[in-house]
Structure formats: C-alpha cells, structure tokens
Structure 1
Amino acid sequence: MSSTVQFAYRPDLDLFTARWLSLTSGSTERGEYEALLRAPEALGTPHWLLDVRRRPTTTPEAARWVTTDWLPRAAALLRPARLRLAFLVPPVRAENLRADPALHAIMSAAYAPGHPFDLRTFTDEGAAVAWLLGQLE
C-alpha cells in the first residue's frame, strides 16, 4: 500500500474507502490504483468510495485509463457481486469534469448503463455513501 493512500473497511456499512492523503503526481497514480486491486479491504465488498479530493485535477488520459482499463478489471475481481464505486471530488474538480469536453465525454460514457460496474462522482461524502448503500439513486 502506498503511504499516500489510506485504505479502510467499515463492516457496519460494508464499505471500502481509499483516501488520498496528500497531493501526488500523475506518475504514481497507476501504481496507487493497482494497489487498490490487491487490498484485502477492497476485495471483501463491492461498495467502494475513492476520496480523491486531495488529488490534482485529472487528465483525459488518466480518466480514460481508469474508466476503460482499471474499472473493468476491478469489477471482474468482485464478480458475481456488482462493483458500485463513488468518487469523492472537490467542487472544482467536479466542475472540471463537466466543463472539459474530453473529460465530460469520458465520464458520460463511464456513467452510462451497460458496464459491469456502477460509477458516480460526488462532492458530498454523505450523498456518496447513501448512493453506495442504495439509499439514493
């Protein structure tokens, strides 16, 4: 596990959380995401909250890799359960995901039905957890 990412499992909510604790460069991002796939805390539940509020704004290349390469592999590890993943982002990053045409297209495709996972982005942790637990659509 990377020292810049903290993993936790909440058995009371059946929820895995990964929190980036400091700003990291894009060069470590793939390694950190790969570490999530090996975390025993993650493999015990299909409900994942990734708190990326301390990460820099993503690039289209990084977003494409996460949504088309990493997420399908994460979902495959959890079958037959269905991965439900919430990204917790700062408001400026949420706005960037909406305003940048390339990022918007990548994320819209990832949110669409037909994937082996459910994905949403939130700026409020309570709403993210409620969605993960099926209390909010």
Structure 2
Amino acid sequence: MSASESAARSITYRPDLGLLIGRWFMNAPVATLQADYRALLAAAQEHHVGRWLLDVRRRDQLDPTLGQWTTGTFYPEASRQLAPLQLRIAVLCSPARLAVYADSARQQEYLNYGLAAERPYQLQLFGDEGQAMNWLNG
C-alpha cells in the first residue's frame, strides 16, 4: 500500500484491491481540489490503476465550477491518459451532498452529464462504501 496525504485529503493505492482511494477530510477551494484530482491521476498512472473510490462525504460545499470541470474536463482527460484502462469512479457521498445534487438544477446537469453511458469513463454515486466497492469490482 502506498499513500499521499495533505491536510485536506489522502490518496491511497490498495494493490490488494487493485484500486485507488481518495478521501477528503474537509472542504477546500476549487484550485486546491483540482490539484488534488491531478495528484490522484498521477498516482493512478504510477500504479497503473483505473478503478477509483472517491470519498467526498466530508466535503459538504459544492461549487458548480468543480462539477463542470471534473465531469467535462478532468475525467475525460484522465480516461485518455489511463487508456487502455477503463476509468471507473465510485463517488462516496453523504446524504446531505446527495440532497444538494437532487435540489440543484445546475448540479443535476453536471451529474447527469457525468453519469451518461456515452462518457469515456464510468461514474456512479453511492451512500454506502460496501456498495461502492461491489460496483468497482463488478
């Protein structure tokens, strides 16, 4: 197991599970979160892994700019850089975050875009870590 940690997040490669786990401990500015996602991609390239569990349960502030960037720019680029691996992303969300997604038309737009089957990556949201892990292994 190898890990990278900052005050706001950790990135852990689990060779026994064949996946990368990113966990955020707090909210952070968009620029910091974008750097975190880039660090996640660097770790994925280093370990040659396309299955990611992203735990965002403690990040309760949702900036639409980040949603647009992750689904429209970052995930497609990460998919290209990891090819021929299939990028499969399970996002572990708190009930409060899922409610924001449900109540915000703008967030729903980015989410629907990211979840669409025609994307070069597979993305699903989960409230339960066991279900997320089962999906990643499926």
> Scaled by the length of structure 2, what TM-score is found?
0.88
Q: Deviations over 1:41-91 (max 9, x none)?
A: 774211100111111331222100110011011111210111000111111
Aligned partner of 1:105 in structure 2 is 109
- Specify the alignment match of 2:50 in structure 1: 46
Q: Which runs of 5+ in 2 are unaligned?
A: none
Are the equivalent residues in 2 in contact too, given 1:7–1:41 (CA < 8 A)? Answer: no
Distance in 2 separating the partners of 1:27 and 1:78: 23
Among candidates 122, 125, 128, match of residue 121 of structure 1: 125
Given the superposition, is the C-alpha separation of residues 105 and 57 from structure 1 closer, same or farther in structure 2, using an over 3 Å criterion? same
Q: How much has 1:24 moved relative to structure 2?
A: 2.3
Which amino acid in 1 is paired with 2:108? Answer: H
The percentage of counterpart residues that share the same residue type is: 35
Query: 1:11-33: CA deviations, max 9, x gaps?
Result: 22211101112332334111111
**C-alpha deviations, 1:81-118, integer Å up to 9, x for none?**
11000111111001111111111111111101111100
Q: In 2, Cα distance between the equivalents of 1:58 and 1:42?
A: 29
Question: Given the alignment of the two structures, is residue 15 of structure 1 paired with residue 19 of structure 2, yes or no?
Answer: yes
RMSD of equivalent CA atoms? 1.7
| Number of residue pairs matched by the alignment | 134
- The answer as to whether partners of 1:86 and 1:119 remain within 8 angstroms in 2 is yes
> Letter of the aligned partner of 1:19 in structure 2?
R
Residues 133 and 42 of structure 1: CA distance in aligned 2, closer, same or farther (over 3 Å): farther
